[in-house]
Structure 1
Amino acid sequence: MINGLMYKVLPVLAGAIFLFSGFDAASQSMDLSSKLGPNKITLSLTKNGELRYRVTRRDKIIIADSPLGLTCDDQNFTSGLSLVSVSPTEVRREIYNLTVGNVKTINHALERKSITVKNRSGALMIIDLVNGQEGVAFRYRFPDQDKKLRVINAEITGFQIEKKARGWLQPYNKAGKVTPGYEDFYVNIHPGDSISNPRNPSVGWCMPALFQVNEKKSWVLLAESGTDGSFPGCHLQPDSKGGLYKIAFAEKDEKYNLPLGNDNRPTFSLPWTMPWRVIIMGDQAGDILLSSLITDLAPASKLDDTSWIEPGKATWSWWSHPEDQSPDMYNTFTDLAASVGFGYTLFDAGWEKANAEGGIIAKATAKGIKPMVWAYSAAYFDAEKRRSKFKELAAMGVKGVKIDFWCSDRQEVMACFQSLFEDAANEHLLVNLHGTTVPRGWHRTWPNFMTAEAVLGTEHYFYEARYPALAAEQNTVLPFTRNVAGPTDYTPFALTIRKFPRLNTAIHELATAMIYTSGIINFADSKEIFDSLPLPVRQLLKDMPATWDKTESIVAEPGEQIILSRQKDRLSYIVGINGTNKAVPVKLNLVKYAKGFSKFRVISEGENPLMSFKTETYPITSTWQYVFAPKGGFIIQFTNE
């Protein structure tokens, strides 16, 4: 099946197979040096039996010697280790479709090898290694088959980043009223810098974490993949002295209103396979943005039939009318969805009362608009109650759920997500997570998982005084960090001026809908704003896809500018935003992207850059020159009209 795992083991290149007759473990190579690309991961054991690894790209150090190991309730795997065996190198090809992403079909070869070590008591631990064109990864496994429960007290995994590197990192907020929710600013730091001026008190750094290393010649993103109910979501410890970033587990008090215990340590039965520690690498930041290594490593799709899953766009009343939960308001946004050609509308908090009074679900479905509804996490944590509620929603005609206020990376929550995706799929319901952790490849495993918040998005024009000044910069960092982890519910297109007045231009805000990937794009703002748009912009909104067949990075400068080429079926666009407060010249060769088209339409700033648009159409020329407005943007649509 194309959405399932379609890999085949390829012939291993000469010199990569280890023959085990007369096997001498000490003489075997503990590295995975790719024949397919420039990356290499190497393991080593110190004299004290401590496990280390390093990562290079074209023989240049990306991650210097860094610690590996676990301490458990019954065993220690941090010292006194010895090598037992090294597996042959195996090449697998991952071929699958993504329901939402930068590219529709993924076809990547990954080299794999497993290193088995034992501790002083003879207990075994396996380190699986993966190497591909886009980076490397590793994970721990306990192969014992006795079904006993093992508890991990600490993971000493680290990532040694050179001190002169430059990084974009997000503080990991400690447990609070609405935290952790991955809704802080990405800040420009150097390894070893402490957390400064976060939005909320913080206990570490989030992943994904982006660094520019190797004298600014290479980019690296630290991330996770394949986190399920066997492990908590992890972040990085706050102390990065000397540039060593270490893994940290979810905190004990990350409970919010969920019925969680007091033990935050990972606990699971044996055998136990843990999440991938993912190290994405590239020569350009655009290589990071386009990487699918996180989904390459995630479990294959668990859904045989995905024909019912339709990406799309939705109207959403909360941003423009947060206090109005009346049937009339919700019906207005159903009508708006129909008028602008959107397939969905999102009924947020208070929809139950509005539906009881005014039948908003039935009115949406009667117009051919698919309703999604807001829900509270605590009401969906219990499996039996959740399944019953999903059946009830599906019977009403609801097509998806936005479940909010998780505020936890605890193992129990990661387990709940997997069951939730499955239970929702059984009722043909789409899922949007809010107030939540970042995805970890889950949209490959569960294609009905369409999007998640975990982003400092446009709702913060209500809540964060610093947001307007920093939003443009953040918008050019998130595609290389948060959005690499998975689909992002940024809620773009917030034009109405709110408590903290917007500084980005109107076209910058519109362009974010095409910069980020989200299986359901929930558009902010009011009917009045949509009705005021010029016809070409309204047509753009109608045509705009919610997922892409092909994406190319043209300009990729985190914190400064981003320009992408996007294609879906016969639609072709170039979209760009400026993250700085300076005018920036742009020069593009359009012929490369205009095959089959004779003209291009440019949407840019109008007379009032904050609120209006200008559209101009030109014949295709080899060179197009433009000047990015401060905090501005543009959208090019190729056309024959």
Structure 2
Amino acid sequence: MNSTLLDSADSVLHHKPRAILSVLLGALLSGALCLTPSLVQAKQVTLNSPDNQIAVTITDDNARPQYQVSFNDKPVINLSELGLSFISIGELSDQFKLINTKTNSVNSQWQQPWGEQQWMQDHHNGVIATFSDGQYQFDVEFRAFNDGIGFRYHFPKQHQLTDLAINRELTTFAIPEPEKATSWWIPARGWNRYEYLYQKTPVLDIDRVHTPYTIKLDNGVHLSIHEAALTDYAAMTLDQRRGGILRADLTPWSDGVKVKTQAPFSSPWRTIQIAPKATGLLNSSLILNLNEPNKLGDVSWVEPGKYAGIWWGMHIGENTWGSGDKHGATTSETKRYMDFAAASGFIGVLVEGWNLGWDGSWFHNGDVFSFTQSYDDFDIKAVADYGKQLGVRLIGHHETSGSVTNYRKQMDDAYDLYEKNGVTQIKTGYVADGGDIKRVDENGIVRHEWHDGQFMVNEYLHSIEQAAKRKISINTHEPIKDTGLRRTYPNWISREGARGQEFNAWGTPPNNPSHTPTLAYTRMLAGPMDFTPGIFDLAPEGLDAVNRVQTTLMKQLALYVVLYSPIQMAADLPKNYAKYPDAFQFIKDVPTDWTTSIALQGEVGEYVVFARQERGGVSDGRDWYLGAITDDSQRTLTIDLDFLDKNTRYQAQIYRDGPDANWQSNPYDYIVETKHVTNADKLELPLATSGGAAIRFKAL
């Protein structure tokens, strides 16, 4: 028998009392290992989660690296392929045998500098499985947590191999009974990047989809397939081959190559979050736990908080980004917004359209943008100094329109200008059709790349690293999808990466009532989103207009709790908040940084209830907040308040839909009321069609 395999079996037997790993050689007969020559060919290793509910089996059956996953002894991923394919050396798949395993177990805590949860528990069992065909070898590292699994490839330096080009990843995810499994998805490799309304279909009906990709199996188990720690690699989409067989489909460079790399290298983690019900996905910490710890050191300069912005007025046609009589980004208008922000307790004001380039056809030619020269009616030093007097920061904005070479050339000077003026946060934009990111290569030739190809994965991260040198945080719009890198680079404070609020101004169709209850279980599983909630003028052109916000006013409040981001925008115009001061009070009060977050109830695309405990703040972390939203179905929820601290009385400040509320005809019917409660109480919350409820539990 192979000595390395015997060593592996001995290691496993040593750890058997902890249920970390079992190596099965041949067939299991009558509870004993039968090592007959005819059965030694197929080797496999089984990795269990700490609670033993999840089991991952890695095997070389059929002389191919494969894996399968079960949850409570029922398959959630059928036997699926592993491997990589290179242009120079071909596929690492056929005739690759499992030759060695190494195991480990981790149970530790780590602290987020900001986040939806202050303390994170990293509890997993791991194995590194080595496959070889006698000439080449590669490792697959698996980790099994109680909330799912992750695995990644390690390709060591070997046979004088240096430069390598991946033309295919062989990873598949085989979904059991795909004709009975429901899924929620947006198309991949499309012109609008990630900005689509989610579709709900059987797994069999998808073609190529983005991740996170959420699935509900016929037995009720929920899965989310995604990736973690995406650096220097192409993003993974999922391409359905045979029915239910989803292949990892990497986004290519303009020349067709998927990944350009060198040995040794490691891939991002392929992740499968697993939960018996929908809310289990929301309470998962898998993605963050698979990322590297903070590389930036002291990041106390990264500041969560709420902000106002010269932004929504452009979308509804009240202002313009470009110069002229309706120019929004003027010195006087910015000072007016800063007055509003200071009075509301906000940390800053975002200003879009201040820099030269917004006149003319900027959408199709981002080379026109200057990131250091302002329009004549905007004085960056004057507004920054004015904000400092009020305790309000200027929040910067850079729109590249996809011309990343132009941005790269100006980046140092642009970030230096912001640093000089005390700007500590920048919203960056990459508005361009998918596959139309413009770069100029080393030979001066224009190339067009995807937002989620390897080139742009590295370009986005470059901006994060350069900003960090100046203690600046980045909020990326039209981004690469989130894969948990905020743990490693905490100044990557938020991003877009889905259909946001602006589609309600001109989207045709705008976001439907089920959009945000779906985002919670799909896009939000990846990480924070700058959705920009808080629109109070829900239908500027009338309730019958096609483009309008399809929610009640109370649902806009609840979004601040449900859709997590450490920076949240009060997105509407100040004059519209003045019409509903009692409702606006919740936006002023709600924090953006949390000690604890718990998803209490919900179903994908239907409704969701989140409770979050404030970190620090005026209550010293004693206050809790709750947000509940629904789709176009009216429903009444009974909320058990056992998440509240024991031996503490609270004043529940409740903002909820009124009895006649309806998003279509009466979105402004709402009730603000207070009750005294403890953790032994229950609350009934009636939600209107596309309605919501927001509660502050103020500790007494």
**Structure 1 length as normaliser, TM-score?**
0.88
CA apart distance, 1:28? 5.8
Q: 2:15, 2:627 → 1: CA distance?
A: 41
Q: 2:83, 2:404 → 1: CA distance?
A: 38
Q: Secondary structure at the match of 2:214?
A: strand
1:77–1:119 Cα contact (<8 Å) kept: no
CA apart distance, 1:246? 1.2
Q: Which residue of 2 aligns with 1:199?
A: none
Residue 395 of structure 1 pairs with residue 420 of structure 2: yes
Q: 2:467, 2:156 → 1: CA distance?
A: 32
Q: Which residue of 1 aligns with 2:345?
A: 341
Q: Which residue of 1 aligns with 2:198?
A: 186
Amino acid at match of 2:46: D
CA apart distance, 1:166? 0.7
Q: Which moved more, 1:590-599 or 1:609-618?
A: 590-599
Q: Which residue of 1 aligns with 2:533?
A: 492
Superposition pairs of residues 413-428 of structure 1, within 5 angstroms: 413-428=456-471
Q: Which residue of 2 aligns with 1:41?
A: 56
Amino acid at match of 1:160: A
Unpaired runs of 5+ residues, structure 2, are 1-13, 24-34, 321-327, 356-373, 435-450, 541-545, 615-620
Q: Secondary structure at the match of 2:204?
A: coil
1:194–1:240 Cα contact (<8 Å) kept: no
Q: Of the candidates 154, 164, 170, which is equivalent to residue 186 of structure 2? A: 170
Q: Which residue of 2 aligns with 1:481?
A: 522
1:250–1:409 Cα contact (<8 Å) kept: yes
Q: Which residue of 1 aligns with 2:89?
A: 75
Residue 510 of structure 1 pairs with residue 533 of structure 2: no
- CA gap 1:119/1:385 in 2 versus in 1, 3 angstroms: farther
Q: Secondary structure at the match of 1:601?
A: strand
Q: 1:345, 1:612 → 2: CA distance?
A: 30
Q: Which residue of 1 aligns with 2:394?
A: 371
Amino acid at match of 1:299: E
Q: Which residue of 2 aligns with 1:355?
A: 378
Q: 1:514, 1:63 → 2: CA distance?
A: 33
Residue 584 of structure 1 pairs with residue 635 of structure 2: yes
Amino acid at match of 1:101: G
Q: 1:136, 1:64 → 2: CA distance?
A: 14
Q: Secondary structure at the match of 2:605?
A: coil
Superposition pairs of residues 622-637 of structure 1, within 5 angstroms: 622-637=681-696
2:306–2:347 Cα contact (<8 Å) kept: yes
Q: Of the candidates 67, 70, 80, which is equivalent to residue 53 of structure 1? A: 67
1:582–1:631 Cα contact (<8 Å) kept: yes
Q: 2:52, 2:588 → 1: CA distance?
A: 41
CA apart distance, 1:191? 1.3
Q: Which residue of 2 aligns with 1:463?
A: 506
Amino acid at match of 1:315: A
Q: 2:669, 2:384 → 1: CA distance?
A: 34
What RMSD over aligned residues (CA atoms) do the two structures have, in Å?
2.5
1:18–1:28 Cα contact (<8 Å) kept: no
Superposition pairs of residues 227-246 of structure 1, within 5 angstroms: 227-229=230-232, 231-237=233-239, 239-246=240-247
- CA gap 1:598/1:515 in 2 versus in 1, 3 angstroms: closer
Q: 2:238, 2:42 → 1: CA distance?
A: 34
Percent identical pairs in the alignment equals 22
Q: Secondary structure at the match of 2:296?
A: coil
Q: Of the candidates 299, 304, 307, which is equivalent to residue 314 of structure 1? A: 307
Q: Comparing both chains, which one has the higher relative contact order based on Cα–Cα distances under 8 Å and sequence gaps of 6 or more?
A: 1
1:405–1:434 Cα contact (<8 Å) kept: yes
CA apart distance, 1:612? 5.5
Q: Which residue of 2 aligns with 1:531?
A: 578
- CA gap 1:592/1:168 in 2 versus in 1, 3 angstroms: same
Amino acid at match of 2:695: I
Instruction: Give the greater-gyration-radius structure (CA).
Output: 2
Q: Of the candidates 555, 579, 592, which is equivalent to residue 546 of structure 1? A: 592
Amino acid at match of 1:605: D
CA apart distance, 1:559? 1.1
Q: Which moved more, 1:596-605 or 1:570-579?
A: 596-605
CA apart distance, 1:357? 7.7
Q: Which residue of 1 aligns with 2:622?
A: 570
Q: Secondary structure at the match of 1:287?
A: helix
CA apart distance, 1:221? 0.3
1:126–1:142 Cα contact (<8 Å) kept: yes
Q: Which residue of 1 aligns with 2:440?
A: none
- CA gap 1:388/1:325 in 2 versus in 1, 3 angstroms: closer
CA apart distance, 1:410? 1.2
Q: 1:603, 1:41 → 2: CA distance?
A: 45
- CA gap 1:16/1:339 in 2 versus in 1, 3 angstroms: closer
- CA gap 1:380/1:105 in 2 versus in 1, 3 angstroms: farther
Amino acid at match of 1:524: A
Q: Secondary structure at the match of 2:556?
A: helix
CA apart distance, 1:36? 3.4
Q: Which residue of 1 aligns with 2:569?
A: 522
Amino acid at match of 2:589: D
Q: Which residue of 2 aligns with 1:200?
A: none
Q: 1:623, 1:383 → 2: CA distance?
A: 54
1:149–1:267 Cα contact (<8 Å) kept: yes
Q: Secondary structure at the match of 2:535?
A: coil
Q: 2:600, 2:383 → 1: CA distance?
A: 44
Q: 1:244, 1:50 → 2: CA distance?
A: 16
CA apart distance, 1:599? 2.8
Per-residue CA distance 1:368-426 (angstroms, 9 max, x = gap): 11221111343677656423321221012211111101651110111122222111111
Q: 1:101, 1:193 → 2: CA distance?
A: 36
1:504–1:632 Cα contact (<8 Å) kept: yes
Per-residue CA distance 1:270-302 (angstroms, 9 max, x = gap): 101001000000111111012111110011110
Q: 1:315, 1:380 → 2: CA distance?
A: 30
CA apart distance, 1:327? 2.3
Per-residue CA distance 1:284-332 (angstroms, 9 max, x = gap): 1111012111110011110110111111111012113442232222222
1:597–1:638 Cα contact (<8 Å) kept: no
Q: Of the candidates 329, 333, 336, which is equivalent to residue 329 of structure 1? A: 333
CA apart distance, 1:451? 0.5
- CA gap 1:37/1:359 in 2 versus in 1, 3 angstroms: farther
Residue 225 of structure 1 pairs with residue 228 of structure 2: yes
Q: 1:209, 1:297 → 2: CA distance?
A: 18
- CA gap 1:29/1:50 in 2 versus in 1, 3 angstroms: closer
CA apart distance, 1:39? 0.8
- CA gap 1:366/1:321 in 2 versus in 1, 3 angstroms: farther
Q: Secondary structure at the match of 2:480?
A: coil
Amino acid at match of 2:212: P
1:344–1:370 Cα contact (<8 Å) kept: yes
1:192–1:240 Cα contact (<8 Å) kept: no
Q: Of the candidates 675, 681, 685, which is equivalent to residue 618 of structure 1? A: 675
Q: 2:412, 2:110 → 1: CA distance?
A: 29
**Structure 2 length as normaliser, TM-score?**
0.81
Q: 1:16, 1:562 → 2: CA distance?
A: 35
Q: Secondary structure at the match of 1:242?
A: coil
CA apart distance, 1:487? 0.9
- CA gap 1:304/1:26 in 2 versus in 1, 3 angstroms: farther
Q: Which residue of 2 aligns with 1:6?
A: none
- CA gap 1:348/1:26 in 2 versus in 1, 3 angstroms: farther
Residue 66 of structure 1 pairs with residue 80 of structure 2: yes
- CA gap 1:360/1:53 in 2 versus in 1, 3 angstroms: same
Amino acid at match of 2:228: S
Q: Secondary structure at the match of 1:288?
A: helix
Q: 1:478, 1:189 → 2: CA distance?
A: 16
Q: Of the candidates 453, 457, 466, which is equivalent to residue 410 of structure 1? A: 453
Q: 2:644, 2:139 → 1: CA distance?
A: 47
Q: Which moved more, 1:583-592 or 1:293-302?
A: 583-592
CA apart distance, 1:266? 0.2
